[in-house]
Amino acid sequence: MSRLGRITRRTLLVGSVAVAGGVAFGIWQTRRPVENPLVPAEGVTLNPYVIIDRAGTTIIVPRAEMGQGVHTTLAALVAEELDVAFESIRVIHGPAADAYYNAALLRGGLPFAEYAQTGWQQTVSGAVGKAGRVLALQVTAGSTSTIDAYERMRLAGAGARETLKMAAADRLGVPRAELDTDDGNVIAPDGTELSYRALAAEAADFPVPEPNLRDPSEWRYLGRSLPRTDMQAKATGTATYSCDVRLPGMKFAAVRRNPRLGGAMRSLDAAPAEAMAGVERVIELEDGIAVVADTTWTAMRAAEAAGIEWESAPYPPDTGAIFEAIEAAFEAPYNARLRDDGDAETALAEAGGDVLEAEYRVPFLAHATMEPMNATAHHTGDALELWSGNQAPILHRDAAAAAVGLDAGDVTIHTTFMGGGFGRRTETDFTALAARVAQAMEGTPVQVAWSRAEDMRHDFYRPGAIARMRGAVADGRAEVFKAEVAAPSVTRQTSQRFVGIATPGPDKGHLEGMFDQPYGIANYAVTGHLAELDVPVGFWRSVGASFNGFFHECFIDELAHAAGRDPLAFRLDHIRDEHAASAHTLETVRDMAGWTGGTPDDVGRGVAFTFGFGTAVAQIIEVVREDGGVRIRDAWIACDVGRALDPAIIRAQMESGLVFGLTAAVHGEITFADGAVEQRNFPDYDILRMSNTPRITVEILENRESLGGVGEAATPAAAPALVNALFDLTGERYRTLPLSRHLRFA
């Protein structure tokens, strides 16, 4: 039996459904019935966020936990309204179900500057967000998980609370309005307590009343730092990542694929691999092989022993030629001009010889997750079961089904913890490949693990990009800011892979972090050019903003120095009247660092500001000369997230985003030779270590009206803040990354 509540705010419908020994509460989606293994299957369309039964309270989180703390914050949204002890809850990842779609994800793709959206733009954003249901976008990406869940999961918790009170009122003969709740109990005026567990089965017989959400002044959990729900398991080594899955009779497989990405396998001599002890089978793939053995190490050694000749790659053979192709995109018609304030061309012509010009370049980058790609699959002939650390369970399930010729309904996918995602685990290649290997080994569970080298050399890379900047200043202000950006399109490649259609029209992702910054400049033009290349590119933490933040904020710094101004004061002058919350963020980081605009000869400081993912972020980085090189000594971050739901998690994500961005700025570079990626492991794709990571100070602000994302917001400002600090220290303007090409870092 299911019960549907009345329409609540924003047309969300809160409902309940009976489950074994209890009741599930969630939000309804009415497009079509959705099978969900958590609830009975008779045409159920509920996506439960909370199940209460004899075992207690289980909160279902529809987004993946990859270290960003989402299982804690999203669970707290429900626990806060349900009024249950946070330490008593159980948290699980929701199954693949399109009712768990991410509405916020598509809203972020519209070509609007988020900080300045008008009323009609917000209306359009809301309508477009609902298309996430049609496309079944159950995706953890874009720093949208909390934004998407903020109202839905609170409503589910509040609806559950009020329905349990209805059941108690019926049992006790007391009006619901006279009942209270506390730590998983309904409390009557005379002090009688009825536990949620005891009321759960009865609650399934009552319709869900329209709940009222609690005022933030009443919050017990939200707004403070909670112990993370994944902390104990990870600290004790009991957490299950996909590489930890073990099944009875399981075999292990390794892959070896054409390092010239997109090229096929010309010939194979499998005999050396097949002759090795412990090897069970060599499976041919279009672009390589999978070797099944009794251990992963045996499988990896055997895969390397096979004799293989490879076909050529479908893109230019080396890094230089690839960047020539990117540069050629400037000569083709532009894809998008998402900002065109004033008349930049006329203003530049009038500036004459005072025009400042600069070209910036950034390399391709790998995700380099600490846990390489892997998945476990068990194919039984008419069904497939998968264990995969992934950011998009429906996409992975459907890709695996297609790979082995099954219907999606015959595939069950379990989403595990993952050792880093950063966008890489939205891609379905490793799960689909595991399904194919398991099909060839029908009846035997197989874990397919990629070596570090296979992972590094078969990524979907952050694209290399070039920016051509022109500008002019007068009377201490920027009069012209004109930017052209050329790069392969992440949006078009990923949409082609995920939904079979390359998204047409203006590509916002290509220009995010450039056109949508809250600077008031009279003549402000931003144009995007798409380079047609078959190098596989994909979502990488902060996506287009990761390189556009570097381009934008380095050039703003150059304009400030051309105007003879303090770089931070120069930014404030252009932001203050455009967006007050952003200006306050910049003022906050100024005060945190004690910025004076002057530094000793052996110290350099740089500032950068970026607005993205709904959050304003300002950073100051300090560098010093040390041991014949440069050390990044201190970093200060101010961020305005609108509402801080868990300060410790926000602080950790700001620190993580900064370190991720600094690592890329200092070391990150994927290069190509003879069509193949040259980097194979961390010795040639280095990362920051504890010894050379700066001290980081974070201050969290809550001045914006809207809730902002935190997972990616700190990454775009890291590289420009560092480069601007190096200019202050050395007088050299570095316009090409990585910086290890130019300097030695201590």
Q: Which domains does the chain have, with CATH numbers?
A: 2-102+138-222 (3.30.365.10), 245-313+367-457 (3.30.365.10), 332-365+461-741 (3.30.365.10)
Task: Give me the pLDDT at residue 263, please.
Answer: 98
CA–CA gap between residue 108 and residue 614 (Å, rounded): 9
Are 352 and 360 contacting, i.e. CB atoms less than 8 angstroms apart?
A: no
Q: How many other C-beta atoms can be found within 10 angstroms of the C-beta atom of residue 659?
A: 19
Cα(425)–Cα(416) distance, integer angstroms? 12
Report the C-alpha gap between 306 and 292 in whole angstroms: 13
The ranges of the chain with pLDDT < 70 are 1-13, 28-37, 39-46, 118-135
pLDDT of residue 118: 64
Nearest Cα to 436, choosing from 249, 240, 255, 250?
Answer: 255
pLDDT at 110: 75
Residue 87: both structure tokens together? 């330490």
pLDDT at 695: 98
For the purposes of burial, counting CB atoms within 10 Å of the CB of 307, is it exposed (0-12), middle (13-18) or buried (19 or more)?
exposed
Looking at residue 37, its pLDDT comes to: 64
pLDDT of residue 120: 53
Q: Each residue of 104-149: pLDDT tens digit?
A: 988 777 777 888 776 655 665 665 556 555 667 899 999 999 999 9
Question: Among 533, 576, 595, 161, which residue's Cα sits nearest to residue 327?
Answer: 533
Q: Can you give the pLDDT at residue 3?
A: 44
The per-residue pLDDT for 99 is: 80
CA angle 636, 639, 644 (to 5 degrees): 125
